[in-house]
Structure 1
């Protein structure tokens, strides 16, 4: 019912939003002799604000048309190279001729970035991808909105997620480096553990886990405390809703993105109110740069996707209530997940000093359970002065965190992967 009411609200306000857009355009028109009057600027700014807060935010574009390699501009084309009903693995393919001119015959490490499946689209990691592009072959998990997946495609739970990660690592082949950002940390670590238990030749060379709830008991944050305080029946009753017939996934039970967004914004509501008021003032003043930055941020932040009921509920139970991975209780398809089986994959953990989503120590816990990774193959880094999003985006990520990740990957890049033919390696992985 709530989902249907939400959609009805969007539809009912649509005429008013169109009217606001028309009024803003008319008031700002150079043909309008009153456009420079204060009352016109104020009314136009109010119309723009109304339009922005009532808009339906769609999945953003990647907006990464080029990258710079040794000062040479190289075209970039996001291309799906592996797909399921629930995910596309997107390769940010760089133009071969320009790339060869820029770097010669050098072979760059292959990096799979596993994006969060936690409400926002993978494009939230745009700046993460941008940082890696000049010196890596970059792939990312582009998870599909659950409301767009027809019921006939079946369920999607934690086991399916782990299977997806394993399948993509096998598709990329040996010597791949995997980066798990936030939510996927425990599941990527589980996937790598299963591959190690099977002595899989496509086990990644390195795993980097960033701002992730490997052990949510450590430095619990408000989201962690909420997950502990409420029982699963409460979450099912209040957080799970049915997709209305407007979408391909009609009648699928989901955790809607707009519900999670409301939770996120509720944690820092005054900050969002202040940001929108500042946006309104900048529009009145005609400060286009600050208004543009506000729009760019909220175009991304307010674009949300739904999660399947089973994935959301299992995540709450296994990761945030029963702590199955750090306690050695997690299973995948009936097989116990043993991080102690990992011996050949190097481990880097990254945390933010001010992270209010995954507290200090939650990501570091990966070192406690991966007991058989040699000490020389471990790294841990805490970035001073950044919160959760600063772990994977922003100035400090670009200048302080990414260089450490780059060095870590290169330290454990095998000689074969530095000079080998990627196509040959992919064939080995497929076999």
Structure 2
């Protein structure tokens, strides 16, 4: 019912958005003498703020036509190399010079938590300088017909395993936030099976491995409410005429509302500042605002079964750190992880995954040798800064690159010297 009401409100506002758009164009027109006055700029700014705060944002593009490799810009193209109903695997194919030594393969598993994989655009851009990058492009559940079946946490783990099989041996995997749990589970399942395609290393970044450590507001809400509350209050059916009509989902707009409410004052100030920038004709600041919110406000629905199973397993019952997590009735045994190197990264000011939650993976994977594990805490960054921004590029990326180089096939067989990895908390 709420989803239908949301769609109805969006439809009702459509003519008002059209009017605001026309009003903004009128007051921006250079032929209009009012366009250069404070009144004209205020009118066009108000019209744009209204239109942007009431629109539905489409899935953004990665828009990464080039990559910087060996200090040279090379052409880069997106290529779907593996596809299932709920996910595509995108390869960022670089036009590398012939004869150049190949870079390591890196599978970036993007979070399936309401935003699109393009939220990791900066992550991809940084890593394509050093690796052959692949990323999971999860599909908006409201766009998947019921005839394509269900998708839950077990399917997510199967997808990760299948993608690693597709990419083959000596692939490195990076999990950003939410996928840290299914990626770690997938690696444990593969190691227990003696799977030759298990990754060479896994990097877990700001992930909720053990949410009992330093719990955040998100963690406390899950424990306080319990899984029945989420099932009764946040699961809705996709309305007509979307392709996923009648599919039970956790709507993206609810997830976005939750994220924004955590820092509502900051978002309100950002909108006010955006208005001021437009009035002052500060184009650079206004464009930065547009770029950020074009990405931040573009959200996708999650299947109900995936969302509920994740909340119950990770945030309510804490099955993974308790050694009770199952994958299709098969125990996820983290002590089976012996050969896959482990690197964990956390942000000092992370208010989504608290300090220690990701590092907990080291206490659970007890059989990984010390020389194949490292942890790094990045000072002065929040959740977003763990995988994007200037500190990520300058301080986190070099550590990830060194860790992959230290634990790839050539390093294991003596084909190259092992770089020294600085593992620290500062």
TM-score bracket relative to the smaller structure = over 0.9
Matches within 5 A, 1:280-319: 280-319=275-314
Bigger relative CO (Cα 8 Å, ≥ 6 apart): 1
Answering whether residue 53 of structure 2 is matched by residue 53 of structure 1, we say yes
CA distance in 2, matches of 1:112, 1:274: 37
The match for 1:73 is 73
The match for 1:269 is 264
C-alpha RMSD of matched pairs (Å):
1.4
Q: CA deviation at 1:231?
A: 2.1
Select the residue among 243, 248, 260 that pairs with 1:248: 243
CA distance in 2, matches of 1:261, 1:417: 44
Q: CA deviation at 1:201?
A: 0.4
Q: CA deviation at 1:105?
A: 2.2
CA distance in 1, matches of 2:318, 2:80: 34
CA distance in 1, matches of 2:216, 2:326: 26
Structure 1 residues 132, 417: closer, same or farther in 2, change over 3 A?
Answer: farther
CA distance in 2, matches of 1:377, 1:37: 63
Structure 1 residues 390, 323: closer, same or farther in 2, change over 3 A?
Answer: same
The match for 2:418 is none
Q: CA deviation at 1:37?
A: 1.6
User: 1:264-297 CA deviation, whole Å, 9 max, x = no partner?
Assistant: 0001100000000000000000000000000000
- How many residues align? The count is 415
Asked whether the 8 Å contact 1:174–1:204 carries over to 2, the reply is: yes
The match for 2:88 is 88
Answering whether residue 403 of structure 2 is matched by residue 408 of structure 1, we say yes
> Is the partner of 2:97 in helix, strand or coil?
helix
User: 1:329-351 CA deviation, whole Å, 9 max, x = no partner?
Assistant: 01111111111111111000000
The match for 1:429 is none
The match for 1:184 is 179
The match for 1:134 is 129
CA distance in 2, matches of 1:4, 1:417: 56
The match for 1:123 is 118
The match for 1:12 is 12
CA distance in 2, matches of 1:100, 1:37: 53
Structure 1 residues 82, 416: closer, same or farther in 2, change over 3 A?
Answer: farther
Matches within 5 A, 1:285-364: 285-364=280-359
User: 1:114-141 CA deviation, whole Å, 9 max, x = no partner?
Assistant: 0000000000000000001122100001
> Is the partner of 1:313 in helix, strand or coil?
helix
CA distance in 1, matches of 2:20, 2:412: 56
User: 1:285-314 CA deviation, whole Å, 9 max, x = no partner?
Assistant: 000000000000000000000001011111
Q: CA deviation at 1:63?
A: 1.1
CA distance in 2, matches of 1:36, 1:357: 44
Deviates more, 1:251-260 or 1:227-236: 227-236
Asked whether the 8 Å contact 1:106–1:418 carries over to 2, the reply is: no
The match for 1:214 is 209
User: 1:28-47 CA deviation, whole Å, 9 max, x = no partner?
Assistant: 11111221121111111100
CA distance in 1, matches of 2:309, 2:223: 14
**Structure 1 residues not aligned, in runs of 5+:** 421-431
Asked whether the 8 Å contact 2:337–2:367 carries over to 1, the reply is: yes
CA distance in 1, matches of 2:402, 2:410: 15
CA distance in 2, matches of 1:175, 1:331: 26
Q: CA deviation at 1:262?
A: 0.4
CA distance in 1, matches of 2:281, 2:35: 12
CA distance in 2, matches of 1:56, 1:158: 28
> Is the partner of 1:39 in helix, strand or coil?
helix
Asked whether the 8 Å contact 2:405–2:411 carries over to 1, the reply is: no
The match for 1:44 is 44
